[in-house]
Amino acid sequence: MTRQIRNLMAAVAVIFIFSCERLSPRATNSRADELYVTTMNASDVTIIKVWELPQELVEISANVLIDEQRMACIQDNAGTIYIYNLNSKAIEQKIVFTGKGDFESLVHVGNTFYALRADGHLYKITPGTKAEPVVETFDLPLTVENDTESMFYDATASRLLIGVKEKNMVNADAPGKEVYAFDLKTNTMSPTPVLTIEEPGDITTPDVKSKGKKKDRKFKPSEIAMHPSTRELYILNGPLSTLLVADKLGKIKKQYPLDTKLFPQPEGLCFSKSSELYLSSEGGNHGRGIIALVRLAAQE
C-alpha cells in the first residue's frame, strides 16, 4: 500500500468519526434531556417534550390541562391542586382543599375541579376570589379495597366515569375492571358499571430479578382518559409502565410499552383540545416527577 493511499484512508476515517460526533446527541446535565434521547426510538411512543417537576410533585398522580399554558396536577399525599405553568416551568398557584390523603385522579369541568381519593371519596372544588375554595364532598359506594385511581369526564352525558384499580364493586371475581358513572346533575353514582375494561390478555414483562425470564403481572389501571375525537379510552397500567388503547366499550385494541427510565410509575394522562397526549409519572426512588408530551405511532 502506497503512502498516498494510507494518507487518504486516514483522512476519510477522521471525517467519518467527526461526522458521527456531529450527528450524535450531546450529553447534557439534564435528566429529562438524557432520557429524551434514550426514549426517542423506544417502542411506538415518540417523546416530544419533557418537563421535570418540582420536588413537591415527585409523587404526581394526575394531570389535566386548564389551558394551553397551565396544567393542574395532584399528588398522592396532599389535598392540594398544583397549577403548573408549562412555559415558565414553575408552580404558579396552589389550591388547598383538604389535608393529607391518597389522591389519585383529577378532572377539570368549567371552573370546577373534581379530585378522587383512593377510598372512594370525591371532592368538588370551586376556586373563588377568596383564599379558600368552596369544597363539597361525596362519599361514593366504593372503598379502599376497590382502590379508585382513575376518573375522566364524559361531556356528552355530563358525568364522571370512575374506574377501579383493584377489586370490582359489583362483579368482584369477574375479569376486567369496572367503570361507574357519577352524574354531575344529580351528584349520584350508578349502582352498576356502565362499562368494563377487558383484561389485556397475558401480561408478561421482562423481570430483572428473575434474570430476564417473563413473569405474569396483573392488570391495574392507574388512569383513564377519553380521546376528544375518537372517544377511544386511553388507559395507563401504571405498575407495568404500559399505555393501552381501548374502544368506548372497553375492548383493548393496542398496547404501548413505555420506557421505564422515563416512566417508572406513570399515573396521569390527559388530552388537549387538539388531541395532544400528555403523560405524567412519579419520580421513583431516585428521580423527579415528570410530564411528557408524547405521540403514538398510530397518530403519526
**Tens digit of each residue's pLDDT (9 = 90 or more) over 142-184:** 999 999 999 999 999 999 999 999 999 999 988 999 999 999 9
Other Cβ atoms within 10 Å of 11 Cβ, number: 10
**Could you give the CA distance from residue 283 to residue 75 in angstroms, rounded to a whole number?**
11
| Cell numbers linked to 18 | 467527526
pLDDT at 96: 96
Q: Give the model confidence (pLDDT) of 234-277 as tens digits.
A: 999 989 999 999 999 999 999 999 999 999 999 999 999 999 99
Give pLDDT tens digits for 62-99: 999 999 999 999 999 999 999 999 999 999 999 999 99
Nearest-CA neighbor of 287 among 267, 260, 258, 269? 260
Statement: residue 139 has pLDDT above 60: yes
Looking at residue 216, its pLDDT comes to 42
51 residue type, one letter: W
| pLDDT number for residue 297 | 87
pLDDT of res. 19 = 39
More confident residue, 117 or 286: 117
Say whether pLDDT at 221 is over 80.
yes
